[in-house]
Chain A
Amino acid sequence: AQSVTQLDSQVPVFEEAPVELRCNYSSSVSVYLFWYVQYPNQGLQLLLKYLSGSTLVKGINGFEAEFNKSQTSFHLRKPSVHISDTAEYFCAGITGANNLFFGTGTRLTVIP
Chain B
Amino acid sequence: DAGVIQSPRHEVTEMGQEVTLRCKLISGHNSLFWYRQTMMRGLELLIYFNNNVPIDDSGMPEDRFSAKMPNASFSTLKIQPSEPRDSAVYFCASSPVRASNPYFGPGTRLTVL
Q: Do A and B come from one complex?
A: yes
Which residue numbers of A lie inside 8 Å of B, CB to CB?
30, 32, 34, 36, 42-46, 49, 90, 94, 97-105
Which secondary structure dominates where chain B touches chain A?
Answer: strand
The answer to whether A105 and B42 touch across the interface, beta carbons within 8 angstroms, is yes
Cβ of B4: which chain A residues have Cβ within 8 Å of it? 43
Nearest chain A CB to B38's CB is how many angstroms away? Answer: 12
B91: chain A residues at CB < 8 Å are: 43-44
Please tell me if B2 contacts chain A, counting CB pairs below 8 Å: no
Instruction: Collect the chain B residues with CB atoms within 8 Å of residue A30's CB.
Output: 99
A100 close to B45 (CB less than 8 A): yes
Say how far A56's CB is from chain B's closest CB, in angstroms.
Answer: 18
Q: Take A42-B106, A45-B104 as given contacts and tell me if A100 and B42 are in contact as well, using a CB distance cutoff of 8 Å.
A: no
- Which chain A residue lies CB-closest to B33? A100
A42, B106: Cα distance in complex, Å: 6
Contact A98 B99 (CB under 8 A): yes
Please report the total number of B residues contacting A with Cβ < 8 Å: 19
Complex alpha-carbon distance, A42 and B21, angstroms: 17
Q: B56 near A102 (CB under 8 angstroms)?
A: no
| Given A90-B43, A105-B43: A98 in contact with B98 (beta carbons within 8 A) | yes
Neighbouring A residues of B43 by C-beta, 8 Å: 44, 90, 102, 105
Q: Bound state CA distance, A67 and B103, in angstroms? A: 22
CB distance from B48 to the nearest CB of A (A): 7
Known contacts A46-B103, A98-B99; 5 additional CB pairs below 8 A are A42-B106, A42-B107, A43-B91, A99-B45, A105-B42
